[in-house]
Amino acid sequence: MDFSLLGQLLINGLILGAIYALVAVGLSLIFGVLEIVNFAHGQIFALGAFAMVALSNFLGLPYIAGVAASGLLIAIVGWLLYEGLLQHLKSGEFERGIILTLAIGMVVQNTLLATVGATPRYIDFPELYSRFEFAGMGIEQLRLTAAVIALVVLGGVWWLLMHTRFGMAMRALAQNPLAATIVGMNPKRVAGHAVILGMGLTGLAGASLAPLFTVHPLLGVSLLFKAFAIVIIGGLGHIPGAAVAALIVGLAESFAGGLGSTVLQDVAVFALMIVLLQVKPLGLFGRGARI
Amino acid sequence: MTALAASFKERAPQRYALVALGIAAAFAVVAAPVLAPNTYIIKIGIMTLIFAGLAQAFNLIYGFAGQLSFAQTGFWGIGAYVSAIGSQRLGLSPWVCLMIAPVLCLAFSGLVGIPALRVSRAAFVIVTLALTLLLQLVARNWTEVTRGPMGIPGLPPLSISIPGVAELDGANPFHFYWIALLLIAPLLMVLYAIMATRTGKILLAVNQDEALARSQGIDVVSWQLFAFAVSGAACGLIGALYAFHLSIIEPGIFDMYYTQMLLIIVIAGGAGHFWSVLGASLVFTALPELLRITPEWRLVAFGVLLAVIILAMPRGFGGFLEDRRLRQWRRRM
């Protein structure tokens, strides 16, 4: 067995997993607090990538500043979406939430297609294309930077949720909405925070990955599938679960793709989800909605 | 009692008008190829038939059984690929493909439905969506069988010839319309029969209150599986038919676009209502074509409309009509 290949696949898988984790945690957060499965998540991701294109190609922002600014921009989009549309959903209207977010995704994606067009766009950061080489394994600086950003941001989110009133309110609302309301929390405000944070994270992920891909309006569609699989595997609404599942999926994909084929890569993720649902219908960590 | 009888008598002229309208509509549907001035119009007619069938299949699983399924596009894509691979690469007769597709989709939807329906409503939605996305990826990447993004072109025409009665050439869109009608009309009747009878009521009961339905001795999961499988088979059949209309199949057949069309038709029409969904399939397929809006802006408009309907009128046009009927009925009593 070629150990440097296995090591390479391991590294690729971990990096992929770290970035998936950002997207999946955003999805999980919105589901945990609002009980909305955000079907516009893929389009929000694409919007983040487009914000990055605009900020770096037209304003000339460096990578990290561009990623941070895009994340903020998309967080604002999340705030607008919550205030304008999502806050009108009542709890227990699960299908309505899906259809509403799907409609939002339709509008975002097709507006992008109609205005920006389907031509792929590129972002260049020549200074980030160097590779680190060691023991026959290599890693691009850009991928490494993206993964480090993902880990730092995830750490930040963890700290927010565990140690600030802002985050604890979200956890409380996800665990017991009634009790949270009784002790004086404003469910609408907290839900708004969850949408802002969740969408901001996804926009950030889109922006940090933008230089690795060609950016076009359908960018998020294939990612959405993986984000959903991750959230199901981790247990809907369970945030650490989503992060762990993201790593598992990243690794599974990297190994299936490296040792098998690209077809196997996608089938592996789906098969993992179906098998797991049979063994543990609530996902790896699922105990109902819980962050 | 007399009030009720009177109300029926009062409504008699309305009923005649409805029957007359129905006969006129049926006539227009059958005679469309004769009435249509050009190929463009008849192709819109074919798409309307196809979406009418698909929308009712989706209505069965979402409107009646209450399960929001994104797998219907997947089943329709499987049907289309059965036609393409069967007729073009294996050399089967197009009609054999049309028979294989629904059977395969029936089996496949059962296979997926059993694990998917066991879990929560949320997980069902996501599993069905993931299935469709996965099928698209497989169609794109499994190039040995599907030829990947290049697609499978050159499907043979779906022709039918009954000596002395009719000779329909599938390559001619005017004839294809009748062939499509020959398949879609019985399919719609079967679906209507399911929805309008006891089965439809059972499904609605399951949808409204699962626990209560179970307490009445209804085997909830079996009925949901039944609706999912019938709907899947119907989608497979329509997909197989659609393949012969397009005569080329590529992975775009699994596009979310079709799911979005089904959602706007069924939700604007009113989930759980047969006739208003049928009307909505005509409105949403034919109207944008006639107004000549570009596909992107059309979907933007549909997205906005979908958001407005789901927030302001979640039961759709059918729900609105039902409420109105109930109000009138109460007033008469």
**B-chain residues near A113 (CB < 8 A):** 296
At residue B171, what are phi and psi to the nearest 5 degrees?
Answer: -75, -20
Half-sphere exposure of B241 (CA within 13 A, CB side): 25
Judge whether A168 is closer than 8 Å to chain B, CB to CB. Answer: no
Chain B interface with A: residues with Cβ < 8 Å: 68, 115-116, 118-123, 125-127, 129-131, 133-134, 137-138, 141-142, 256, 260, 263, 267, 294, 296-297, 299-300, 302-304, 306-307, 310-311, 314
Q: What is the pLDDT of residue A11?
A: 84
The whole-angstrom separation of Cα B127 and Cα B140 is 20
Q: Give how far A107 is from chain B: nearest CA, Å.
A: 5
A-interface mutation test, from B135, B137, B294, B315, most A Cβ less than 10 A away: B137
**B-chain residues near A85 (CB < 8 A):** 307, 311
* pLDDT tens per residue, range B80-99: 999 888 888 887 888 888 88
Label residue A287 by pLDDT band (50, 70, 90): low
Asked whether the beta carbons of residue B299 and residue A236 sit closer than 8 angstroms, the reply is no
**A-chain residues near B142 (CB < 8 A):** 263
Q: Give how far A65 is from chain B: nearest CA, Å.
A: 32
The whole-angstrom separation of Cα B317 and Cα B280 is 9
Which of A96, A236, A270 has the CB atom closest to B130's CB atom?
A270
Checking ipTM against 0.90, whether it exceeds it is no
Per-residue CA distances from A122 to A50, A111, A147 (Å): 10, 20, 20
**B-chain residues near A282 (CB < 8 A):** 120
Judge whether A242 is closer than 8 Å to chain B, CB to CB. Answer: no
DSSP A75-137: HHHHHHHHHHTGGGPPTT-HHHHHHHHHHHHHHHHHHHHHHT-S--B----GGG--EEEETTE
How many Cβ atoms are within 10 Å of A280's Cβ, its own excluded? 14
Parts of chain B with a pLDDT under 50: 1
Torsion sign across C-alpha atoms B325, B327, B331, B333: positive
Asked whether the beta carbons of residue A225 and residue B300 sit closer than 8 angstroms, the reply is no
B-interface mutation test, from A95, A216, A221, A265, most B Cβ less than 10 A away: A95
Considering A150-154, A180-184, B316-320, the range whose residues carry the highest mean pLDDT is A150-154
Q: What is the mean pLDDT of chain A?
A: 83
- The number of residues in chain B equals 333
Q: Quick one: B97 exposed, middle or buried, by C-beta within 10 A (0-12, 13-18, 19+)?
A: buried
Which of B123, B134, B302 has the CB atom closest to A267's CB atom?
B134
Per-residue CA distances from B63 to A122, B224, B241 (Å): 43, 12, 24
Half-sphere exposure of A168 (CA within 13 A, CB side): 5
Asked whether the beta carbons of residue A103 and residue B303 sit closer than 8 angstroms, the reply is yes
The residue assigned the tokens 């698909």 is B54
Whether the per-residue pLDDT at A289 is higher than 50: the answer is no
Q: Give how far A197 is from chain B: nearest CA, Å.
A: 22
* pLDDT tens per residue, range B11-56: 667 778 888 888 888 887 777 777 778 888 888 889 899 999 999 9
Per-residue CA distances from B266 to B201, B239, B278 (Å): 18, 18, 9
Whether the per-residue pLDDT at A278 is higher than 80: the answer is no
Which of A94, A221, A270 has the CB atom closest to B121's CB atom?
A94
**Beta-carbon contacts below 8 Å between A and B:** 114
Q: What is the pLDDT of residue A291?
A: 39
- Closest-CA residue of chain B to A217: B296
Whether the per-residue pLDDT at A47 is higher than 50: the answer is yes
Q: pTM of the entire structure?
A: 0.84
Which of B115, B256, B306 has the CB atom closest to A103's CB atom?
B306
- Closest-CA residue of chain A to B143: A263
Q: What is the pLDDT of residue A195?
A: 92
How many Cβ atoms are within 10 Å of B333's Cβ, its own excluded? 8
Per-state percent for chain B, helix, strand, coil, to nearest 5: 80, 0, 15
- Closest-CA residue of chain B to A222: B133
Q: What is the pLDDT of residue A290?
A: 40
* pLDDT tens per residue, range A202-237: 999 999 888 877 888 888 877 877 888 888 888 777
Judge whether A100 is closer than 8 Å to chain B, CB to CB. Answer: yes
Q: What is the pLDDT of residue A165?
A: 86
